[in-house]
């Protein structure tokens, strides 16, 4: 097995924690980069910036993403995964994931799924589908709990 790390996408959700759990079971002894991709600007920030000149959203969102990624590392460590945290801000999110995967030459991208289907998936979108569709690397999509 090569020594390339896996990317574990992490957003502090139950699905992200399940992705770490699955990675620990299915890919033991592989280094990991726990990644959170924050938004460049949140909807709330976009609304606020329309009314006021408020700089620094990207930096604030990067700090939030770094804190979430570190919580993912903490969870990974409890499962025996040697992990480091990585955070970035990007839109669309899938693009940020693939850029970091290329940067670290990831062996696989592990991502949780919310299990959305039909109209709800069309309206809300599916990050796991976007990553799978655009990636040239293997993608392990971990389904939600039954």
pTM for the model stands at 0.86
**CATH number of the domain that 95 lies in?**
3.40.50.620
pLDDT-based confidence at residue 39 (cuts at 50, 70, 90): confident
Question: What are the C-alpha distances in Å from 142 to residues 50, 65, 89, 112?
Answer: 38, 21, 23, 5
Q: Where are the alpha helices (DSSP H) in the chain?
A: 14-26, 43-51, 57-78, 93-104, 118-124, 127-134
Q: Which two tokens stand for residue 63?
A: 């700090």
For 92-129, give the DSSP string.
SHHHHHHHHHHHHT-SEEEEE-----HHHHHHH--HHH
Q: Does 47 reside within a domain?
A: yes
Q: Does 1 reside within a domain?
A: no
Q: What is the average pLDDT value for the chain, to the nearest integer?
A: 88
pLDDT-based confidence at residue 146 (cuts at 50, 70, 90): confident
Least confident of 39-43, 99-103, 131-135: 39-43
- Choice between 51 and 140, residue whose per-residue pLDDT is larger: 140
- Give the domain extent around 15: 6-142
**Could you give the number of structural domains in the chain?**
1
- Whole-number pLDDT of residue 52: 58
Q: Does 114 reside within a domain?
A: yes
pLDDT-based confidence at residue 2 (cuts at 50, 70, 90): confident
């Amino acid at each position: 097995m090569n020594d390339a790390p896996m990317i574990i996408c992490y957003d502090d959700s139950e699905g992200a924690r399940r992705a770490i759990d699955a990675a620990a079971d299915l890919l033991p002894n592989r280094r990991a980069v726990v990644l959170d991709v924050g938004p460049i600007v949140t909807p709330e920030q976009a609304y606020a910036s329309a009314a006021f000149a408020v700089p620094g959203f990207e930096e604030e969102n990067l700090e939030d993403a770094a804190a979430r990624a570190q919580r993912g590392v903490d969870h990974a460590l409890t499962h025996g995964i040697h992990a480091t945290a990585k955070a970035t801000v990007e839109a669309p999110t899938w693009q940020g994931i693939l850029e970091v995967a290329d940067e670290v030459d990831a062996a696989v991208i592990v991502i949780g799924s919310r299990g959305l289907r039909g109209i709800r998936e069309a309206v809300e979108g599916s990050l796991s589908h976007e990553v799978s569709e655009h990636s040239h690397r293997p993608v392990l999509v971990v389904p939600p709990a039954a």
